[in-house]
Structure 1
């Protein structure tokens, strides 16, 4: 921990300091916080518990990681970072090859990828996302298979046992995984338990797995783990992300494409 530690902090001041330290370092360790802040580990655990309840951190064993700042409202997410999503989508769309069978998860970025597939591309898209299917409705050469089930409204994707059975019946060349969080240590994670099961099945059913992630999702963790970082084949992210930040992903064998 590099930053200066003020003395005699009030509870809220201490918690703001912890969040700032988390943003600087990428993680915090409870025993180290206890030593530096000169408070008990019980106090630190209580701080982290309250910060997690506010969505400001994601607790893990022994400390905390950054929590993704993602709106629960799909319509709101669809209007955020639109130009960046378009740039990433154009790059990701080039990964689809003729005759590929592609599993496409829910998410506003994945919808944008589908809008940028080449008009002369012949492929099959299997998706649990009605918005993805609608985005391809007028594509002249892409066959679209929509997986049924109960729709999780936050992601506008189907997520129940019917969906899971459908995913397991596919052997895809490529998967565009909807990403809430991706972290070098905790891997890919999401906010919903049922979604995590569907995402795991998509990974298991695909030869290659692509995560397209804005920089705000990198280095963060959500409550439900989809799988380790090594499950990803490629990561498509913003050109502004530093070499240092991407080094752990590359070290895990993930091919990084910056756009």
Structure 2
């Protein structure tokens, strides 16, 4: 089998199986483990997979910059946003993470909602200007332009001064063994800091994030109340349920 043919096979297996096990592939193809690991390194360098111990899993397409993410699964994000907006009760305090899905949540909130929103996203704060009964607290810090959020030491320190009933968390990967992940270490630290300040954390995961893995862990799955997704039933969701993770299906 030519190298290009092997690459195509590995990409197809990632799509269908959701993972690659290096030892099994080496045995199946009659190659050395080193050959398969080299193939996986090349796929990872091209952004087509994320290497894990013993193999690889799909890389998240949600790692694109903020402007590009608006065009990734917009219908999925709208469905999740509508469901997540229903979790926010009048009079409550909610932390909205940055990202295109949480922006959709802000836009889905009833115009007469009475409550408090804390966010480190200037974009989300701006979207709530026309909600006259929503108090908005914008956490300051270094602006991470890739995701249009504040993060870094100042932002983490600011997060430590607030408390909320609910945190709606955005990630780029939801995986049964890797947990909840994202592509930047400072952003991951900020998300952890915000989660610690809320009574409950709900993960908003559009379909392309289910089964994907990014480089930096945000939280293990046992630290969140539920994952909100519209992803059709698949092996990843079944594995999450087997591990006791609550999955809320957006209609």
Matched, 1:40 2:32: yes
- Look up the SS of the partner of 2:61 in the other structure: coil
Q: What is the CA-CA distance between 1:125 and the residue it aligns to?
A: 0.9
Per-residue CA deviation, residues 50-101 of structure 1 (Å, 9 max, x unaligned), is 1000011100111111111236231222244333322221111000112222
Matched, 1:12 2:15: no
Matched, 1:139 2:131: yes
- Look up the SS of the partner of 1:50 in the other structure: helix
For the structure 1 residues 84 and 24, does the alpha-carbon distance in structure 2 shift closer, same or farther, using more than 3 Å as the test? Answer: closer
Question: How do residues 180-199 of structure 1 correspond to structure 2 at under 5 angstroms?
Answer: 180-199=172-191
Partner of 2:192: 200
Matched, 1:155 2:147: yes
Partner of 1:50: 42
- Number of aligned positions between the proteins: 250
For the structure 1 residues 251 and 170, does the alpha-carbon distance in structure 2 shift closer, same or farther, using more than 3 Å as the test? Answer: farther
For the structure 1 residues 223 and 245, does the alpha-carbon distance in structure 2 shift closer, same or farther, using more than 3 Å as the test? Answer: closer
Partner of 2:59: 67
Higher relative contact order (CA 8 A, sep 6+): 2
Contact 2:62 2:72 in 1 (8 A): no
Partner of 1:103: 95
For the structure 1 residues 80 and 25, does the alpha-carbon distance in structure 2 shift closer, same or farther, using more than 3 Å as the test? Answer: closer
Normalized against structure 2, the TM-score is what? 0.94
Q: What is the CA-CA distance between 1:245 and the residue it aligns to?
A: 4.1
4+ residue runs of structure 1 moved beyond 4 angstroms?
none
Partner of 1:4: none
Normalized against structure 1, the TM-score is what? 0.91
Matched, 1:175 2:175: no
Contact 1:233 1:253 in 2 (8 A): no
- Look up the SS of the partner of 2:126 in the other structure: helix
- Look up the SS of the partner of 2:203 in the other structure: strand
Matched, 1:230 2:222: yes
Q: What is the CA-CA distance between 1:115 and the residue it aligns to?
A: 0.9
Structure 2: state its 5+ residue gaps.
Answer: none
Structure 1 window deviating more from structure 2 (225-234 vs 158-167): it is 225-234
Q: CA RMSD in A?
A: 1.5
Choose the corresponding residue for 2:233, options 242, 248, 254: 242
Structure 1: state its 5+ residue gaps.
Answer: 1-8
